[in-house]
Amino acid sequence: MKNIKLRNKILISILFIICLFLFKNINQVKAASVPAYRWPIGGDNANETYMDYEYYGIAGQAPVKDGKSGREYKVNNKLWPNEKAYYAKCESHNGMDITGINGHTYKVVSVCNGTVIATSAEYGGNPSTNYPDRNQRRTTAGLNDGGGYGNYIVIQEPTTGRCFLYAHLKGGTFKVSKGNKVTAGQEIATMGSSGDSGHMHLHFEIRKSKEVTINTAWGGGYHRFQYANSTSNLDPKDYIGSSPKVVRQITVTKPSKTKYYEGTENLNLAGAKLSVRYNTGIIENINLPNNNVKVSGFNNKKVGKNTVVVEYAGQKVTFDVEIIAKPQPEIKYVAAKREKVTFQRYFKYRQINIYFDKPVTLGNAEPTVTVRVQNEVKTASYAGISDDGKKLMYKIYNNEFDIFTEGMMYIDCTGTVLDKENKKIEVDCKFKNLTIGKLYKCELKHTFSAIINNGKGDINGDGVVDGSDASRALRIYACRMSNEELDEIDKKNIDKADVNDDGIVDAVDASIILSYYADKSAGVTLEDDKKILKCDINSDNKVDVYDFNLLKLKIQNAVYEDTFDLNEDGKLDNDDIEFFRNVMYDLGSRKRN
Ligand SMILES: [Zn+2]
């Protein structure tokens, strides 16, 4: 039993030691991420306060900030109108300065539990006791002022031995005195500007021990503190929490582009920057545009000054841009002269060229070119600008007009182009030029039907209808006129020679054979002839507007007849119109002028 008890005691002891180690480790981890002490300002206004001057406690070394030696307050001169940048060469600073808004009152609170071990109130010789807000630089008289600290309180934390020095306190506001115990967050005095201070602020120091804080040899002189330096002091920033982060002020840097043309340009924020100053003294720069920053007030239609409003975290700042009235390009040159426009004719289209005596650009849109023939008005399509910029080209396709449209083309070019200086050039040309011809040559050589359908024409029986058959036809005609005998071949094939079926063979037959021969050489096929035959609805051996109108009428009336079913699909519809058009376009052609 005794042994078991002993073993249990040992086990419990080991466990306890392990727990201690674990606990210690956890504490260390905590110390690294969580501030050991609270912010030394309490009350409702605490979130207005911020650090305006950092710790520069490097022994024997002058602080250097922004390339300048010595003390430089970062206070905002708008909030502190009397404060100027203050430099004290070769002087280190071993605490942190905390300030707020000029004129506001701030409660200084203890950052930890502890005991008040010294205050300036114990020393009647401290002039600040009698001057609650006495500001005096070291360059002025009255150095016997708590060593420059003015009204101060020193509180020691029993667990660490660290001493916390609160200085420049407002005289007559002390809530504690030497020997008092205080708790973290307890108000001890009001922020002031006593001692060596240029503006209301709390000078806050953390010293490692009482020995490096209080000078026990002090005997009533002006200085009761040990010298502060990097071996005696800790940088408060590493130990205390910060005031709640609140945007104190925003300022804006204008964008690079501040002039805009009326109506055309959008706000360009390149180069614009929002400088956000927090109560903690930290300044953050935000490049614009930024999703969290609202920018409004830009109106490119409002000529003159535009005030652009930039909003962030409930605060607004503005900058001005200028909207310049867009110069109305003056008309310097009117391209309305007849000789400035020419035409070129191609197989399928006409090209309309507008010439300028200097290079132009189109601006927002190319000019419009319309072409009217009879009652049909078509818009020519823009076809580009020449490499030298002096010629605008337009095309109008022959097929854009109805197949039976013919007549003079009236061309109307209107609009504007711009020259190199952005000056407007008016294009205003009206003129008539080429005619557009009707389709012709789409007619059926009905006299070929005997050749095509009945195999006539091949008199010599060599399988082709050609020039030698024509000469045979002529010879037959000559023999008949002179009562000469025909040769055997002619005698046998005399029926084939009457290609127009009029009962006699004569010069007309010879010319039809020659004509047929010429057509075959030109590529006209039997199929083509059949198509033309179908389209010749009124059977006058020509395909023309009369046939077309008959066809359209028949389709409108919707009465089916084989004759009109050109594509032979059993219906009368637009496909038949298409068939007709295709025959005309394929087998007919525009008359040239
Ligand atoms: Zn200070």
* 537: its two tokens: 């609805």
Question: Which domain-ending residue is among 385, 409, 440?
Answer: 440
* 3-state secondary structure string across 24-45: HHHHHHHHHHCCCECCCEECHH
* 135: its two tokens: 């500001």
Q: Determine the distance separating the centroid of ligand 1 and the alpha carbon of 221, expressed in angstroms.
A: 21
Query: Are residues 47 and 147 located together in one domain of the fold?
Result: yes
Q: What is the CATH number of the domain that holds 289?
A: 2.60.40.3630
Please state, in angstroms and rounded to a whole number, the distance separating the CA atoms of residues 154 and 207.
10
Query: Are residues 515 and 374 located together in one domain of the fold?
Result: no
List pLDDT tens digits, range 461-484: 888 888 999 999 999 999 888 888
What is the extent of the structural domain holding 307?
247-324
Q: Determine the distance separating the centroid of ligand 1 and the alpha carbon of 166, expressed in angstroms.
A: 10
Query: Are residues 499 and 402 located together in one domain of the fold?
Result: no
Residue 20 lies in a domain: no
Q: Determine the distance separating the centroid of ligand 1 and the alpha carbon of 270, expressed in angstroms.
A: 40
List pLDDT tens digits, range 243-299: 666 777 899 999 999 988 787 788 999 999 999 887 656 678 999 999 989 999 999
| The pTM of the whole model exceeds 0.85 | no
> Ligand 1 is a single-atom ion; what residues have CB below 5 A from it?
95, 97, 203
* 3-state secondary structure string across 461-512: CCCCCCHHHHHHHHHHHHHHHHCCCCCHHHHHHHHHHCCCCCCCCCHHHHHH
Structure confidence at residue 144 as a pLDDT band (50, 70, 90): very low
Q: Determine the distance separating the centroid of ligand 1 and the alpha carbon of 233, expressed in angstroms.
A: 13
Query: Are residues 235 and 339 located together in one domain of the fold?
Result: no
Query: Are residues 283 and 185 located together in one domain of the fold?
Result: no
Query: Are residues 180 and 252 located together in one domain of the fold?
Result: no
Ranking 6-10, 123-127, 136-140, 167-171 by mean pLDDT, the lowest is 136-140
Query: Are residues 70 and 216 located together in one domain of the fold?
Result: yes
Domains of the chain: total: 4
Q: Determine the distance separating the centroid of ligand 1 and the alpha carbon of 60, expressed in angstroms.
A: 17
Residue 215 lies in a domain: yes
Instruction: Look at residue 57 in the predicted model and tell me its pLDDT.
Output: 67
Q: Determine the distance separating the centroid of ligand 1 and the alpha carbon of 126, expressed in angstroms.
A: 18
Query: Are residues 71 and 134 located together in one domain of the fold?
Result: yes
Residue 104 lies in a domain: yes
List pLDDT tens digits, range 531-564: 877 888 887 777 777 888 888 888 888 778 888 8
Instruction: Look at residue 208 in the predicted model and tell me its pLDDT.
Output: 95
Q: What is the CATH number of the domain that holds 103?
A: 2.70.70.10
Nearest of 447, 470, 440 to residue 457 by alpha carbon: 470
Instruction: Look at residue 331 in the predicted model and tell me its pLDDT.
Output: 45
Question: Which domain-ending residue is among 219, 240, 261?
Answer: 240
Structure confidence at residue 521 as a pLDDT band (50, 70, 90): confident
